[in-house]
Amino acid sequence: MNTLVCLAAILFLLMILIGGKKGARSFIALFLNFGVLFLTILFMLDPSGNPIILTLISCVVISCINLFYINKVNVKTKAAFISTIITVTILILFIVVTTKVTMIQGFGEEESDELSIYTVYIGVDFVKIATSVIIMSAIGAITDIAISISSPMREVFHHHPTITKKELFNYGMAIGRDIFGTSANTLFFAFFGGYLGLLIWFNDLSYSVGEIVNSKVFSAEMVTILCAGIGVALTFPITSWVNTFYLLKMKNDDKDSQTSTED
Amino acid sequence: MKQLFTKKNIIIYSILAVCFIGSLLFVHNNYSFYDRTIVKVVETNLEDITEISDMHQNEDQIYTQSITAEIKNGEEKGQLIQLTNKYSDSAAIDNEYKAGKELFVKLDANPDSNSELTGSIKDIKRDKYLLIITWLFIFTLLIVGKRQGFYALISLVISAIILAIAIEVYVNTANISLLVICGISIILFTIISLLLVNGFNEKSYAAILATLLGTFLSLLITYLVMLFTSEQGLRYEEMQFLTRPPQLIFMAGLLIGALGAVMDVAITISSSLFGLYEKDNNISIKALKKSGLDIGRDIMGTMTNILFFAYISGSIPMMLLYLRNGSNLSFTFSMNLSLELARALSGGIGIVLTIPIGLYTTIYFINKKRSKP
């Protein structure tokens, strides 16, 4: 039997066993996300399309799956969704500039063995693809933080409706700071694990520090880790702000509608 | 805001400012530290444009530019050099260079001292850009995260150092198993990260225990599955550059890759259960179990997604190349995604397993605390 199928089956069973219905939904979400990624890649094959706009669209779909499908549509997930999209948009602007100046797109000379049978002149803009890759690497973590901050902020607002704007925002920031370290760790270790082979290889070749730091492959990894980290860090002030704004606006709308019915 | 300018803070800001400015100055003037010749592009001239297409209907344009650059280090410092560079619209393995860009070049042997210096471009000097992004990262973390941001930074740096040492030891020691080294590093990573974030208390101990059990159990399951299915469907070609057995390195990467997510789950469960216990010392085990499972259910979907996207996204460029070169879908996916998918699935197994494990280790520590007078 195929290893991947077997692992997927075990994961599915465990998720149902421990998570029940929500576990099943989480597993299906994983599958749907794979589908979105698959379609994104197919659309990226067309040289006339813009990979960055494509990425933005996929991010919207992926956050819909992660937030609305797993957790249902409610105030919390709506606020988290808005925060995710704002963060991703800001991050894209930053990463577009970064990939342009660092020139980390495409493939390093270390990968050239694998490439020798293919033509690399395929008309697809790899600079833009590099931007997409970084955004897509971080999208899972960004939606995670957005929902982790939105839920408790909504709870606090529910229990203390008189809370001031500033208190609510600070509460969101405090939660963000508490979970930030471990969320960032999740991403960093995932990258470390993925790059382990390359790091060992750099050591085997006894590259000098100067050669490692300036090589395309290593720079690309570093830029991905750092940009993803910046994105995750930006998510929590943005989410706190969006929630403060959204929750207070909802409260004011309620008040307005109440006063209007009284009239 | 009120304590922005205490004496301690001013000292910290000054140290940061000195480091920032010092490192920027260094990296803009470090030419003499490199053995390789560095040049700075002074002028470029577009010489030629060729349109190309191939049998897979790929169309691209190849440009040829001539570059005049100034040598920044070595014996020829200050002299001008002539280079030619070819680049394409897709820029997969090439770049267009503009004035001001710094490059590593290999000088051609130059027997006649009167003729112009020539050479070939080897790489781009990227250190100054990396430095600026690193500082942006540090500042974002400190401004947004304050004290916790600082701890996150410290724990990241320590983890990176441990990893570097582990790789160094592995490469330079004969007959040492990578899995043993990774196992030891993982124990260190876990203890340091969790103690640094949460301090010395039962909460951290429960999380450390759950993390270690969860990670090693998920590795064991993955190993057994690989054994029973004789690794059918796993393609190690993407690691073919390694001169070492790819299976071991893949397993080690799997262990490290899942660790962060498993730690996250473990600490989330243990701190929320301890929070409930501290609010109400007489809370029943049954109630704790129920809350723990609820919390676990809430996070397992998003956590597996973090790993999934972090692993898979990196393969996008290579898959595009395969597909545009006429490879079919199933071949492209199995060549480029099999290892990444295996990593994501095995990490997911680790995440889900850690939920009950974290639940029981936390309850164990709560019971222990309760039985104390």
User: What mean pLDDT, rounded, does chain B reach?
Assistant: 88
pTM equals 0.90
Domain assignment present for B97: yes
Neighboring chain A residues of B163 at a CB cutoff of 8 Å: 192, 199
Residue range B116-125, pLDDT digits in tens:
788 889 889 9
pLDDT at A262: 46
Residue range B95-107, pLDDT digits in tens:
899 998 999 998 8
Domain assignment present for B293: yes
Q: Which of A29, A121, A141 sits opposite B62 (nearest CB)?
A: A121
pLDDT > 70: percent of chain A: 96
Half-sphere exposure of A10 (CA within 13 A, CB side): 24
DSSP state at residue B81: E
Q: How many domains does chain B have?
A: 2
pLDDT at A260 over 60: no
Domain assignment present for B157: no
Same domain, B121 and B186: no
Residue that finishes a domain, picked among B100, B125, B150: B125
Q: Would you tell me which residues 66-85 of chain B have a C-beta closer than 8 angstroms to some C-beta of chain A? A: none
pLDDT at A263: 44
Domain assignment present for B147: no
Same domain, B116 and B181: no
Coil, strand, or helix at residue A162?
Answer: coil
Domain assignment present for B359: yes
Mean pLDDT of B164-181: 85
Residue that finishes a domain, picked among B82, B107, B125: B125
Q: How far apart are CA B158 and CA B168, in angstroms?
A: 15
Domain assignment present for B277: yes
Range of the domain at B62: 34-125
CATH number of the domain residue B181 falls in: 1.20.1640
pLDDT at B212: 95
Domain assignment present for B21: no
Residue owning tokens 């070749």:
A205
Mean pLDDT of A170-191: 87
Same domain, B191 and B46: no
Q: How far apart are CA B204 and CA B269, in angstroms?
A: 11
Residue range A67-121, pLDDT digits in tens:
999 888 988 899 999 999 999 999 999 999 999 999 888 888 777 777 778 888 8
Mean pLDDT of B336-365: 93
Q: Which of B144, B257, B302 sits opposite A144 (nearest CB)?
A: B302
Q: Could you write out the three-class secondary structure of chain B?
A: CCCCCCHHHHHHHHHHHHHHHHHHHHHHCCHHHCCCEEEEEEEEEEEEEEEEECCCCCEEEEEEEEEEEEECCCCCCCCEEEEEEEEECCCCCCCCCCCCCEEEEEECCCCCCCCCEEEEEEEECCHHHHHHHHHHHHHHHHHHHHHHHHHHHHHHHHHHHHHHHHHHHHHHCCCCCHHHHHHHHHHHHHHHHHHHHHCCCHHHHHHHHHHHHHHHHHHHHHHHHHHHCCCCCCCCHHHCCCCCCHHHHHHHHHHHHHHHHHHHHHHHHHHHHHHHHHHCCCCCHHHHHHHHHHHHHHHHHHHHHHHHHHHHHHHHHHHHHHHHCCCCHHHHHHHHHHHHHHHHHHHHHHHHHHHHHHHHHHHHHHHHHHHCC
DSSP state at residue B232: T
Residue that finishes a domain, picked among B88, B105, B125: B125
Q: Would you tell me which residues 110-169 of chain A have a C-beta closer than 8 angstroms to some C-beta of chain B? A: 110-115, 118-127, 129-130, 132-134, 136-141, 143-144, 147-148, 151
Neighboring chain A residues of B147 at a CB cutoff of 8 Å: 177
ipTM for the whole complex: 0.90
pLDDT > 90: percent of chain A: 49
Same domain, B339 and B221: yes
Domain assignment present for B20: no
Instruction: State the architecture of A20-253 in CATH terms.
Output: Up-down Bundle (1.20)
pLDDT at A41 over 90: yes
Where do the domains of chain A lie? 20-253
Q: Is there a contact between A30 and B320 if contact means CB atoms under 8 Å apart?
A: no
Asked if B95 has any chain A CB less than 8 Å from its own CB, the reply is: yes
Q: Are A238 and A87 in contact (CB under 8 A)?
A: yes
